[in-house]
């Protein structure tokens, strides 16, 4: 009888513990190339019945990612905190977007499983999310590969690095990536996605007189993208242009840098232009 009571009590405690959070983990995509940051989205629904405060200056890290190889070997966990406190309202759902980059990382090739653990500070326990799969691959086929020196005014000024532009096929789409590598050691400094590309028009890739990289490519039919990358490996500028009635935009290099000529500037985030209201049948045009 006592054993049965203990078993029931353990079951009830387990159910209560698992009900503290409902956590869902998703990745913005599931296939990456070596060194590319992984962007994860964690949704946490607080089912504890009370508000929970996580994070804050000097507090314990409240989010942990566990990555496991397909062989079962676990990589070192990645723990993340926040300087500002976050309140998880009772019954509410919060979304947290995290970029995992640097030393964790996508340096190893293969297939991996990832889960997110979220801290419940009152009990001191972490509660686990669903499992997601990601694949890390790589290519040594570069569309563009040239060394450059980091000019004064940027971190590591005087060092030699390489701009590398990669054309990578991901499922049914072609993706254009930029990679910055150290020219001496070959180590990857940064790898990031420039965007989807259509090879109907060959991309234009140049380094200007200030050692900034300019990449101009067709992102989709009739829409072109111009990306400028600083020597420190950070995107400086991104703009879009439309091919209007055969006036196709192109990139012209000048002593001042890259300049887009032709076409029409296009802001994909701008709301569509307001349409003129249709004339009512009862309204007669002037003069009739």
The pLDDT tens digits for 221-253 are 999 999 999 999 999 999 999 998 878 999 999
The two three-digit tokens of residue 83, written as one number: 């300087």
The two three-digit tokens of residue 212, written as one number: 């900034």
pLDDT tens across 112-159, in order?
999 999 999 988 999 999 999 999 888 777 999 999 999 999 988 999
What 3-state class would DSSP assign to 8? helix
Average pLDDT over residues 77-104: 87
Q: What is the separation, in whole angstroms, between the first and last Cα of the chain? A: 97
| pLDDT at residue 97 tops 90 | yes
Residue ranges of domains in the chain: 20-136, 140-266
What 3-state class would DSSP assign to 101? coil
Note the pLDDT of residue 173: 87
| pLDDT at residue 214 tops 90 | yes
Number of residues assigned to the chain: 288
Alpha carbon of 132 to those of 42, 43, 129, 231, 235: distances in Å? 12, 14, 9, 35, 29
3-state SS, one letter per residue, for 9-68: HHHHHHHHHHCCEEEEEEECCCEEECCCCEEEEEEEEECCCCCEEEECCCCCCCEEEEEE
How many CA within 13 A on the CB side of residue 174? 16
Give yes or no for a cis peptide into 105 (omega within 30° of 0): yes
Taking domain 20-136, whether its CATH number is 2.60.40.3880 is answered by: yes
* Four-point Cα dihedral 95, 99, 103, 109, nearest 10: 100
Strand order in the sheet with 213-220: 204-207, 213-220, 223-229, 235-242, 264-266
Note the pLDDT of residue 211: 96
The two three-digit tokens of residue 226, written as one number: 């111009």
Summary mean pLDDT of the chain: 85
Query: What is the pLDDT confidence band of residue 9, given thresholds at 50, 70 and 90?
Result: very low
Average pLDDT over residues 51-58: 92
């Amino acid at each position: 009888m006592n054993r049965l009571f203990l078993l029931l009590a353990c079951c009830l405690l387990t159910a209560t513990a698992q009900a503290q959070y409902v956590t869902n983990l998703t990745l913005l995509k599931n296939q990456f190339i070596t060194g590319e940051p992984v962007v994860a989205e964690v949704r946490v629904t607080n089912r504890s019945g009370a508000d929970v405060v996580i994070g804050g200056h000097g507090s314990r890290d409240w989010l942990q990612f566990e990555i496991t190889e397909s062989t079962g070997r676990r990589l070192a966990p990645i723990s993340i905190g926040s300087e500002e406190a976050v309140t998880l309202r009772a019954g509410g759902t919060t979304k947290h977007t995290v970029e995992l980059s640097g030393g964790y990382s996508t340096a190893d090739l293969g297939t991996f499983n990832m889960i997110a653990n979220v801290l419940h500070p009152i009990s001191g326990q972490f509660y686990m999310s669903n499992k997601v799969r990601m694949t890390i691959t790589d290519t040594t086929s570069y569309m563009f590969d040239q060394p450059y020196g980091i000019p004064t005014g940027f971190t590591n000024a005087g060092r030699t690095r390489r701009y590398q532009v990669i054309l990578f096929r991901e499922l049914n789409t072609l993706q254009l990536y930029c990679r910055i590598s150290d020219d001496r050691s070959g180590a990857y400094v940064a790898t990031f996605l420039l965007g989807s590309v259509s090879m109907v028009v060959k991309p234009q890739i140049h380094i200007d007189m200030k050692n900034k990289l300019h990449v101009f490519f067709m992102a989709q039919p009739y829409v072109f993208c111009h990306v400028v990358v600083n020597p420190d490996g950070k995107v400086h500028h991104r703009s879009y242009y439309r091919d209007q009635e055969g006036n196709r935009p192109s990139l012209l290099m000048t002593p001042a840098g890259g300049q887009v000529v032709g076409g029409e500037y296009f802001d994909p985030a701008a709301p569509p232009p307001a349409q003129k209201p249709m004339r009512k049948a009862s309204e007669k045009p002037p003069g009739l």
